[in-house]
């Protein structure tokens, strides 16, 4: 959900230090150069298995059982730089990636077609698909042909969106920040929006819309603009009421686009432009498959918020001690872990 090492807004912006560590989240300053990926010999094949790094589950077992039907895919770990992908289903919690400290998953999105990640294993956000054999690197499964992409996400239909920064590996001919999409894990990407200033947090919404965040000036760290792209390619800004929007949550069935900022403030923007403030101290993670309720987290707890009861969060229970949660997707059916 934003830039990790390559832009203004950190990839795990939705974390916002839910375990109390607020240092880098939501307040990165300056545009850092893109790092060349350092590819170890052991990672020279598509089926390379991650180094095993296991952590505590994101929530305590009693809470996992209360989260309802479906599959919740989320990033979680001891801190914002040490995240892995987990799935919560019918009370069970399973870790799907096993990244080492400071080289974790910076963003993830899930759909029936699979789980796409921006992965920091090689010290820059590289695109991959989570499979039963580890990370399958985009575009061909081979680490030697990595393509860098931040804020990776995927639509319900399997279309992938991400941000490519200037001179990114795989897109060296571009001097702009680019919002790119591709129709599958194996298809070529194409640019649908370009900007000389940083972009972040693309999210798919109803009717093939995409919202994302644009920084008006590379030197302006005090403001951002939420942009909305329609299915026909028309792009316009959205009035959010927030001077510095930092994270977005949306989905195909969501009634509202939810915009969040630090310190733990969020607003739900309806299709008619209406704005509803969420209770302060709660951060949006994802809509449920029906779009009827929003999964939210505080520094220590997790709960549900509904547009019909905007002043109230129904607390489900605590996060696991020492665990930080980040981006999430809630699916009705399981995401594919097959190798393309």
Angle, alpha carbons 1-94-86 (nearest 5°): 0
Residue 205 to residue 184: CA distance in whole angstroms: 18
Residues 139 and 147 sit within 8 Å (Cβ to Cβ): yes
Taking the CB of residue 271, how many other CB atoms lie within 10 A of it?
A: 13
Residue 315 to residue 121: CA distance in whole angstroms: 35
Residue 97 Cα distances to 119, 131, 323, angstroms: 10, 9, 16
Residue 311 to residue 324: CA distance in whole angstroms: 25
Residue 122, both tokens:
């090689």
Q: 61: part of which helix (H) or strand (E)? A: helix 61-64
Residues 50 and 98 sit within 8 Å (Cβ to Cβ): yes
Q: CA gyration radius for the chain?
A: 18
Q: Which of 285, 207, 308, 202 is nearest to 252 (CA)?
A: 207
Peptide bond into 263 cis (omega under 30): yes
Per-residue pLDDT of the chain (340 residues; tens, 9 = 90+): 322 223 333 333 333 333 332 222 222 222 222 222 222 333 333 334 445 567 789 999 999 999 989 999 999 998 888 899 999 999 999 999 998 777 889 999 999 999 999 998 888 899 999 999 999 999 999 988 999 999 999 999 999 999 999 999 999 989 999 999 999 999 999 999 999 999 999 999 999 999 999 999 888 878 999 999 999 999 999 999 999 999 999 999 999 999 999 888 999 999 999 999 999 999 999 999 999 999 999 999 999 999 999 999 999 999 999 898 988 999 999 999 999 9
3-state secondary structure of 40: coil
**Residues 6 or more apart from 219 whose CB is under 8 A from it?**
none
3-state secondary structure of 64: helix
Residues 247 and 1 sit within 8 Å (Cβ to Cβ): yes
Residue 107, both tokens:
């963003």
What order of strands is seen across the sheet that includes strand 294-297?
A: 283-287, 294-297, 301-305, 313-318
Domain range list for the chain: 41-331
Which residues are registered as beta bridge partners of 330? 72
Q: Is the dihedral of CA 76, 78, 79, 84 positive or negative?
A: negative
Residue 31 to residue 1: CA distance in whole angstroms: 16
Q: Which of 301, 305, 331 is nearest to 60 (CA)?
A: 301
Which CATH entry fits the domain spanning 41-331: 2.170.150.70, 3.90.1640.10, 2.120.10.30, 3.30.565.10? Answer: 2.120.10.30
Q: Is the dihedral of CA 253, 257, 260, 265 positive or negative?
A: negative
């Amino acid at each position: 959900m934003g830039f990790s090492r390559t832009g203004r807004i950190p990839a795990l912006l939705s974390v916002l230090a839910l375990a109390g560590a607020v240092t880098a989240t939501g307040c990165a300053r300056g545009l850092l150069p893109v790092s060349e990926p350092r590819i170890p010999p052991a990672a020279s094949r598509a089926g390379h298995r991650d180094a095993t790094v296991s952590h505590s589950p994101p929530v305590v077992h009693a809470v996992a059982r209360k989260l309802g039907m479906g599959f919740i895919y989320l990033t979680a770990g001891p801190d914002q730089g040490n995240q892995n992908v987990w799935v919560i289903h019918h009370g069970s919690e399973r870790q799907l990636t096993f990244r080492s400290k400071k080289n974790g998953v910076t963003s993830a999105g899930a759909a029936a077609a699979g789980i796409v990640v921006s992965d920091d294993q090689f010290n820059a956000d590289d695109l991959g698909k989570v499979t039963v054999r580890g990370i399958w690197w985009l575009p061909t499964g081979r680490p030697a042909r990595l393509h860098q992409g931040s804020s990776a996400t995927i639509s319900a239909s399997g279309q992938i969106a991400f941000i490519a920064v200037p001179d990114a590996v795989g897109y060296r001919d571009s001097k702009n920040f680019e919002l790119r999409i591709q129709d599958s894990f194996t298809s070529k990407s194409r640019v649908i929006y370009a900007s000389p200033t940083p972009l972040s947090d693309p999210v798919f919404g109803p009717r093939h819309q995409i919202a994302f965040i644009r920084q008006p000036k590379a030197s302006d760290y005090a403001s951002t603009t939420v942009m909305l792209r329609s299915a026909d390619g028309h792009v316009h800004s959205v009035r959010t009421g927030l001077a510095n929007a930092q994270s977005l949550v949306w989905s195909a069935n969501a009634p509202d686009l939810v915009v969040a900022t630090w310190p733990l403030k969020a607003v739900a923007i309806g299709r008619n432009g209406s704005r509803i403030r969420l209770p302060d101290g709660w951060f949006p993670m994802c809509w449920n498959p029906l779009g009827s309720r929003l999964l939210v987290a505080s520094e220590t707890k997790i709960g549900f918020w509904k547009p019909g009861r905007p002043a109230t969060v129904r607390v489900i229970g605590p996060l696991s001690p020492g665990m930080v949660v980040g981006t999430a997707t809630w699916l009705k059916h399981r995401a594919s872990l097959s190798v393309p």
